């Protein structure tokens, strides 16, 4: 890892755990590179506050950086307020009609951060289950700002707009498209974890339910793991996971967790990402269930890929900009990148990569055929 990466992770650890590792002033690295990396990983708020909290580091910032950081944090606080108001509004509307949603990730996980407002928001995810899925959409659609009542829908969820906030209504918390058997096992655990022993969080006097601690520990990882295999994640998602494990360390049943991980063939991946959470992000290894030092070499390769790609492939923007205007050439370019990325992953997670590559390839060819069929 280069010097910029080392300093970035040091600053991040300080911010996440309120550590007092001395942050060097800019000598053999540049703050521009540090904040470019923070933006790519969706961690500008926590990195910025950690730098401001270090007098020596703050003094070495380029002109105007302190004001820009403070402005970003103020705006991020305002976004959090908007998201929380929207969350209460949507949940209250659903409850009034007898639908009890469960908040997934997002605003619930922000509560585990040293300052929730430093976490960058994405969208609001609410699970309502298959039975209430259609009813929930009918309740919320008239209240939304989705144009002409249009909604984006996938096998997992429907997306509605409420001003600047995207709210995703989930019939399923997740889907394993690589295996019907594993998908069926996952759905059983999901249904139980989202229906029983749910954990309430207070949002301005309104209790909103979040998944059971046991299922949430697995679900947060499962979500980031599938996104990583499909196209990339940012360190913010691993921070979410690490801070949750730290916050709820005494409430998690490791026997349950091990059973889920083994049945869903994710234990090795869990341990690899756990090395990142512990060895580079600062979560005490004693707080990470099934920590395995032997996974460190693979973890280092995964971390390098995450830092290179950025959140959801943010750093591949240059690749997208250079794509051809010809449809087939664009698809061919995407496929070649897909092959290249999976070749790297094959050395780290061979079995999972092979399944993911096959599934994504088949899905891609089906999409191309569908597009051509429309124009025949």
Mean pLDDT on 299-322: 75
| Cβ 78 vs Cβ 95: under 8 Å | no
How many angstroms separate the Cα of 124 from the Cα of each of 41, 80, 103, 322?
A: 19, 11, 8, 32
Out of 50-64, 81-95, 103-117, 317-331, least confident range: 317-331
Q: What pLDDT band is residue 319 in, cutting at 50, 70 and 90?
A: very low
| Cβ 7 vs Cβ 56: under 8 Å | no
Mean pLDDT on 11-20: 91
Entry pTM: 0.90
Q: Residue 227's closest CA among 302, 312, 306, 347?
A: 312
Q: For residue 23, what is the DSSP state? A: P
Q: Residue 121's closest CA among 157, 72, 79?
A: 79
Residue predicted with more confidence, 220 or 323 = 220
Instruction: Compute the chain's Rg from CA coordinates.
Output: 21
How high is the pLDDT of residue 244? 98
Out of 117-131, 136-150, 266-280, least confident range: 136-150
Q: What string of H, E and C letters represents the secondary structure of 179-212? A: CHHHHHHHHHHHHHHHHCCCEEEEECCEEEEECC
For the chain, give the mean pLDDT.
90
How high is the pLDDT of residue 316? 53
pLDDT one-digit tens code per residue, 182-211: 999 999 999 999 999 999 999 999 999 999
Q: Report percent pLDDT > 90 for the chain.
A: 71
How high is the pLDDT of residue 200? 98
Residue 339 above 90 pLDDT? Answer: no
Residue predicted with more confidence, 228 or 335 = 228
- Report d(CA 108, CA 95) in Å as an integer: 18
- Report d(CA 222, CA 266) in Å as an integer: 8
- Report d(CA 253, CA 270) in Å as an integer: 16
Q: Which residues are paired to 207 by β-bridges?
A: 202
- Report d(CA 130, CA 153) in Å as an integer: 14
- Report d(CA 289, CA 253) in Å as an integer: 10
Q: Look at residue 41 and give its three-state secondary structure.
A: coil
DSSP codes joined into one string, 50-103: HHHTSHHHHHTSPTTHHHHHHHHHHHHHHHHHHHHHHHHHHHHHHHHTT---EE
> Rounded to 5 degrees, what angle do the CA atoms 10, 113, 27 make?
20
Q: Look at residue 364 and give its three-state secondary structure.
A: helix
Domain residue spans in the chain? 3-322, 323-376
Tokens of 309: 């790609």
Out of 129-143, 147-161, 167-181, least confident range: 147-161
Q: Report percent pLDDT > 70 for the chain.
A: 86
| Cβ-proximal residues to 343 (8 Å cutoff; 6+ apart), any chain | none
Exposure class string for 17-54: b at 16+ Cβ within 10 A, else e: beeeeebbeeeebebebbbbbbbbbbbbbbbbbbbbeb
What CATH class has 3-322? alpha beta
């Amino acid at each position: 890892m280069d010097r910029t990466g080392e300093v970035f992770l040091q600053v991040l650890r300080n911010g996440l755990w309120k550590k007092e590792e001395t942050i060097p002033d800019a000598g053999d690295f540049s703050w521009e590179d540090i904040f470019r990396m923070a933006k790519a990983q969706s961690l500008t708020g926590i990195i910025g506050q950690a730098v401001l909290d270090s007098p020596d580091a703050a003094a070495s910032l380029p002109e105007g950086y302190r004001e820009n950081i403070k402005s970003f944090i103020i705006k991020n606080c305002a976004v959090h307020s908007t998201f929380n108001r929207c969350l209460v509004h949507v949940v209250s509307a659903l409850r009034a009609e007898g639908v009890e949603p469960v908040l997934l990730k997002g605003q619930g996980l922000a509560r585990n951060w040293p300052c929730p407002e430093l976490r960058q928001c994405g969208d609001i995810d609410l699970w309502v289950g298959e039975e209430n899925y259609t009813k929930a959409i009918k309740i919320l659609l008239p209240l939304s700002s989705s144009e002409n009542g249009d909604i984006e829908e996938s096998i997992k969820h429907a997306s509605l707009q409420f001003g600047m906030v995207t709210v995703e209504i989930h019939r399923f918390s997740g889907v394993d498209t690589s295996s019907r058997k594993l998908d069926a096992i996952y759905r059983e655990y999901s249904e139980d974890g989202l229906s029983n022993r749910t954990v309430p969080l207070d949002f301005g006097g309104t209790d909103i339910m979040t998944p059971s601690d046991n299922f949430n520990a697995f679900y947060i990882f499962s979500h980031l793991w599938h996104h990583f295999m499909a196209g990339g994640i940012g360190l913010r998602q691993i921070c979410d996971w690490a801070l949750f494990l730290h916050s709820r360390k005494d409430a998690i049943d490791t026997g349950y967790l091990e059973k889920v991980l083994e049945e869903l063939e994710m234990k090795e991946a869990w341990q690899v990402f756990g090395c990142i959470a512990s060895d580079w992000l600062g979560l005490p290894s004693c707080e990470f269930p099934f920590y395995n030092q032997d996974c460190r070499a693979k973890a280092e390769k995964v971390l390098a890929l995450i830092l290179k790609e950025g959140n959801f492939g943010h750093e591949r923007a240059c690749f997208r900009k250079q794509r051809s205007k010809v449809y087939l050439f664009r698809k061919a370019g995407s496929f070649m990148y897909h092959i290249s990325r999976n070749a790297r992953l094959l050395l780290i997670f061979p079995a999972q990569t092979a399944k993911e590559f096959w599934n994504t390839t088949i899905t891609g060819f089906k999409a191309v055929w569908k597009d051509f069929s429309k124009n025949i």
